[in-house]
A and B are shown apart, each in its own frame.
Chain A
Amino acid sequence: MIARNTTDLALVVGLLAGTVAALLAPGVPWPVEWAFGAAFLLGLPGYAVVAALFPRTPEQTPTDHVAPPSWVARAALSLLASVLVVAATGVLLGAVGWLTLTPVVAVVAVVTLAAVVVAYGRRRRLPADRRGNPLGALSPSAALVGPRTSRTQAAVTLLAVVVLLASLGFVAATPSPEPGYSEVTMPREDANASVGSAPQALVAGEDNTVALSLENHEGESTAYTVRVQLQRVGANGSVLEQERLDSFRATLADNETARYERDLSPSMTGEDLRLRTLVYEGDASGDPDLSLRVWVDVAEAGSS
């Protein structure tokens, strides 16, 4: 039978059991895991330790030299003690290479239970009305409104709290509206090689394999049109001559990456030609959504 004014300790044991199950059992929904996890790391061990340290209510008695810590101070100390317990557990387990979930949960749970036992024993030795059980001492309404608040004002405040909680639920349930994006890469054959040492060389009339990587992070399946052009560029940047080397369409699922190896067979030759890759979302019209360029030399077939 549970002694009077120890229901908070029973609640700690219950929450601890729920936490162990939530953290170690597979397939637990994340909101449940987060709620129990936060309580486990920042609440339960410290609460139990503080309950063991201070079995009495905060009120000062005539025999006290100083008053025991207030409820607020105990709440703060519970946070501190929780982190200290978790940190000590982690440092010890980390030093011997056992810092994994099960040992952590086991050690913190054992420390918490031991503190609960001590707290229970110390409280039982006190008169029931002197036992430091915050559940019996605190009023939930005191956390919402002041002492002279009218019923209407209290109702409005309660409504505001409900709206706040609903907004948090809305945010948790709906994905972030972060705008999507796409990526296109023309990888270098050897990413370790130093940059700028030599231009990429192609041979006219032959298949020159060029790699291309496309990634879709638009948040939905996206169709792309890809065009590859070879351009001769004048000194002022104007395009003097242009040749389309390739054009293809690809549809990528969200978060899909596709790597292509395209055979390009240019007819234009010369040095300092610009190989452009244009990526359009949807059909190829207007300005491309993404573009790449690589400066190449194109030699005639058979030339050295």
Chain B
Amino acid sequence: MSLPGLSRKFAVERADLAVAKLGVVVSVLLLGLQWFASQPFLLLIPLATGTGSALYVFTESTEGRAYRRPTLPRSVAGLLPAVVGLGLAGVVVATHVAGTRTDAVYLLTGGVGVAVFAQILFVDDDALGVGAVLCQILAAALVIRFGALYATPGYVGVDIWTHATVLVDGVARNGATAALGDSKYVMAPVYHVVGAIGTLVFGGVRDGIYLAVGLFVTLSALFVYATGRLVLPARWALLATALYGFSDQFIRWGMHVIPTSLGLAFFLAAAYLVTRLFEGDAERWTVALLAATSLAVVFTHQVSTVVLLFLLGAAALVAVALRAVGSNPNRVPSARTAAALSAVTVTTVAVTVVSWAYTPFSSGSRFLWRELAVLRTALTRDAGFLNLAGGDGGSAAAAGSQSAFAALIPYVELVGFTLLLAAAVVGGLLMLRWRASTGVSLTHVLTAGTMFVAVFGLSIFGVRVLMPGRWMAFLFVPMALLAAAGFSYVARTRSRRLVVAAFVVLALAYPTTMVVAEKATLDSPAFEDEHPRYAYTEPEIAAVGSTGAVLSPDSEQVVGTDHPYRTLYDRLGGYESGEPVLGANGPTATQVSVYRDYQSTGPISFETAADAPAVGAAAVSERVCPTDWDKRYANDAVWVCTQSGQPEAAS
């Protein structure tokens, strides 16, 4: 393209184009951050936003014109539902036979995803079975999550061991929420109460949580379709549902079923109700259900509440602002809508503040004041540009190999996210242009934008007090909707090649990379040499209980073992635990040490003392459980060792 041509492209004519052009420039500048810090997100985010913006600028949209999207032959398309059904059957059987999710299971799961996306993207309008595809998305979501959950002994994840074995079990046994004691959940008991009722109905805590909460969380993907359908044609609403249903973050909270999961499901409902509120002129039932759902979030989970307030705040702000400055009656929400959104938002904020002011936290403090103090500290002391260390907790010090392939893995896992973000940028720009549904469009764009800044923008400055890792699944909701709109835009472009390329890349790369990403495979990492397993075998779980014969949980002595296994000793066993520092002759700070085979075979690393050699995989057992220590417990996978009375004993 000639220079004058480029100049014409970058001339400011419309708001959407102006933002897109700015997006290209800012993205190119942000690529420079690569010089200061090495993080996959620092490359992939500018790449995605830049690509999305450039695509929007340089694509000649033919909206409203007749076009012919590439489609599959009917003979092939009609068999894809059967491929999905057989693929899911294969996933079920292969997971059961192997006892865990294996590479073959991930391959089959990815194949199922490709077949679902192919139907959405490459089937004629008159042959697209909307109900059938929606059922396939839900069936795949259920099989992916529940296949993993029921193949895994115990639970998947870290926090759920406390929620299930202590809190939900306590409520179910005592028949009272008083069992939540002084935990912060005494003012947010919804998850534990629903889990306890599930326990009573299904006869066990695990089944109770999985079937009462886990099913609801998984099936709440229906709200993405319902929301999408209010603003998009059926095909693109289906695409939004598939994008969300196969996303690693949604899979994550369908397997690690904790209050965050329930808060997320309520958030999906709130997103639908907010959209409906704009579209339906604040019908009474919508307002009442939105209020009830918002209060349910407040009494379920604190982080989810903050995220929900972003959505409600954005919606109320958009509605009020459009009422104040808008002139086109088709674009201005009604006074009822603005009033209802404002009322729900103010009520939710008020209830949140009062609830948090009475929520107990550690050492007698209250949640509200403690969080404000933490936030102040984070902003005034911890914040710093590109202060990227740390995270939202829970990550293991994994010993990833340094091979070129290992270095590529984080990028492979983020392919789906990158596609989602690029498409969401296109969709967001498109929404800025649309004349209809302006309140809804702006709300989703503003929600996605502010949440994106909260997750990634604040993280760049080292502010992670809002636990950005927990926000990702919530952020993916507006992103999936915007991305579906973005693909609907791409589908209307003149370039058939571009459409084919974009759709093929999406159909092949999105589901296959999302289902093998770290957060989607906590139970059995697809990249097992890079990410630790956040689930345990039967012997590993049994060892925690049997350790009581060697060391009482009341003894206050620290049990040293790897992360995340030590969290099981904390949460299930009631021990004080820590990660051991390994000296040349064994652990230096702990007198009780637990070795498991996984420390030798998995990506587990230990801190070593300054004068001690590094730990090789072959020597892990002798460094964690030295031969001059007593070995008082053993099963097929775990040893429990204690410092013996004679530390100078022969090795």
Q: How far is the CA of A165 from the CA of B49 in the complex (A)?
A: 43
Select one of A82, A178, A188, A292 contacting B551, CB under 8 A: A188
Say yes or no: B175 contacts A192, CB within 8 Å.
no
0/1 per residue, B280-324, Cβ < 8 Å to A?
A: 110101000100110010010000000000000000000000000
Residues from chain B with Cβ under 8 Å of A223 in the complex = none
A273-303 near B? 1/0 per residue, CB < 8 Å: 0100000000000000111111101000000
What is the chain B residue whose CB lies nearest that of A234? B650
- Whether B78 lies near A146 (C-beta < 8 A) is yes
Cα distance A298–B356 in the bound complex, in angstroms: 61
Minimal Cβ-Cβ distance residue in A for B280: A66
> Which residues 165-217 in A have Cβ within 8 Å of B in the complex?
166-168, 170-171, 174, 176-179, 181-188, 191-200, 213, 215, 217
The tally of residues in A whose CB lies under 8 Å from a CB in B reads: 107
Determine which residue in A142, A167, A184 has the highest number of CB atoms from chain B within 10 A of its CB, and name it: A167
Query: Is there contact, CB below 8 Å, between A30 and B203?
Result: yes
The interface residues of chain B, by DSSP majority, are classed as helix
Question: Do B86 and A79 have beta carbons less than 8 Å apart?
Answer: no
Q: Which residues on the B side are within 8 Å of A199 (C-beta)?
A: 644-646
Measured CB to CB, the nearest residue on chain A to B299 is: A91
Binary A-proximity of B537-572 (CB < 8 A = 1, otherwise 0): 111001100101111101101000000000000000
* Cβ contact within 8 Å between B636 and A181: yes
A135 at the interface (CB under 8 A from B): no
Whole-angstrom distance between the Cβ of B445 and the nearest chain A Cβ: 22
When each residue 45-57 of chain A gets 1 if its CB lies under 8 Å from chain B and 0 otherwise, what string results? 0000000011000
Q: Is A70 an interface residue (CB 8 A)?
A: yes
In the bound complex, CA of A218 to CA of B548 (Å):
21
Contact between A183 and B542, CB atoms less than 8 A apart:
yes
User: How far, in angstroms, from A167 to B96 measured CA to CA in the complex?
Assistant: 10
Which among B85, B216, B280, B548 has the highest number of chain A CB atoms within 10 Å?
B85
Residue in A closest to B79 when the chains form the complex, CB atoms = A153
Q: Do A143 and B289 touch across chains, with their CB atoms under 8 A apart?
A: no
Assess A95 versus B177: contact at CB under 8 Å? Given A145-B129, A191-B550, A192-B552.
yes
Which positions 26-63 of chain A face chain B at CB distance < 8 Å?
Answer: 30, 33-34, 37-38, 40-42, 53-54
Please indicate the chain A residues that have their CB under 8 angstroms from the CB of B193 in the complex. Answer: 87, 90-91, 94, 99
* Structural contact, B646 and A295, CB atoms closer than 8 A: yes
Name A170's closest neighbour in chain B (CB-CB): B93
Is there contact, CB below 8 Å, between A84 and B89?
no
In the complex, the answer to whether B628 meets A295 with C-beta atoms within 8 Å is yes
Q: Which residues of B, 636-651, contact A by the 8 Å Cβ criterion?
A: 636-637, 642-651
Chain A residues, CB < 8 A from B74 = 148, 150
Min Cβ gap B175→A in Å is: 4
- Per-position contact with B for A111-149: 1 when CB-CB < 8 Å, else 0? 000000000000000000000000000100011111111
- Please report the C-alpha to C-alpha distance between residue A185 and residue B633 in the assembled complex, in whole angstroms: 4
Q: Nearest CB to that of A194 among chain B residues?
A: B557
Q: Out of A76, A161, A185, which one reaches B546, CB within 8 Å? A: A185
Tally A-B pairs: CB < 8 A: 331
Residues of chain A within 8 A (CB-CB) of B82 are 153, 156-157, 159-160
B222 engages A72 (CB within 8 Å): yes
Residues from chain A with a CB closer than 8 A to the CB of B201 are 23, 33, 37, 40-41, 101, 104
Whether A294 and B644, one on each chain, are in contact in the complex, defined by CB atoms closer than 8 angstroms, is yes
A73-B229, A95-B177, A196-B591 known; A272 vs B539 contact (CB < 8 Å): no
List chain B residues, Cβ under 8 A from A194: 555, 557, 591
A195 to B414 Cα, complex, angstroms: 47
A98 interfacial contact with B, CB 8 Å: yes
Question: Which residue from chain A places its CB closest to the CB of B134 in the assembled complex?
Answer: A72
In the complex, B123 has a CB within 8 A of chain A: yes
Q: Are B81 and A145 in contact (CB under 8 A)?
A: yes
User: Are A104 and B134 in touch, CB under 8 angstroms?
Assistant: no
User: Closest CB-CB distance, A6 to chain B, in whole Å?
Assistant: 20
Among A97, A183, A274, contact of B635 (Cβ-Cβ < 8 Å): A183
Interface contact A164-B81, CB-CB below 8 Å: no
What's the minimum C-beta distance from B603 to chain A, rounded to whole angstroms? 22
A66 touches B283 (CB 8 A): yes
For B123, B174, B636, which residue has the most chain A Cβ atoms within 10 angstroms? B636
Of A40, A99, A177, chain B has the most CB atoms within 10 Å of the CB of: A99
Given known A42-B216, A98-B175, contact A183–B634 (CB-CB < 8 A)? yes
Q: Does B151 contact A (CB under 8 A)?
A: yes
**Contact across chains for B549 and A80 when beta carbons are under 8 A apart:** no
Contact A146 B212 (CB under 8 A): no
Per-residue contact bits, chain B 217-248, to A (CB 8 Å; 1 contact, 0 not): 00110110110010000000000000000000
> Cβ of B631 < 8 Å from any Cβ of A?
yes
Q: Which of B211, B296, B645 contacts A37 (CB 8 A)?
A: B211
Distance between Cα atoms of A144 and B78 in the complex (Å): 11
B47 within 8 A of A: no
Closest to A166 in B: B89
Q: Which residues of B contact A171 (CB under 8 A)?
A: 92-93, 96, 150
Q: Can you sample 17 A-B contacts with CB below 8 Å?
A: A41-B194, A42-B219, A66-B279, A90-B193, A138-B131, A142-B131, A145-B81, A149-B81, A178-B99, A183-B634, A199-B646, A236-B650, A272-B648, A290-B636, A291-B631, A294-B632, A294-B644
Q: Which 6 pairs from chain A and chain B are nearest by CB?
A: A146-B129, A199-B645, A160-B85, A90-B193, A153-B78, A196-B643
Known: A81-B289, A193-B555, A294-B644. 10 other contacts (CB 8 A): A42-B216, A72-B134, A76-B220, A83-B296, A87-B296, A90-B190, A99-B171, A148-B74, A178-B537, A237-B651
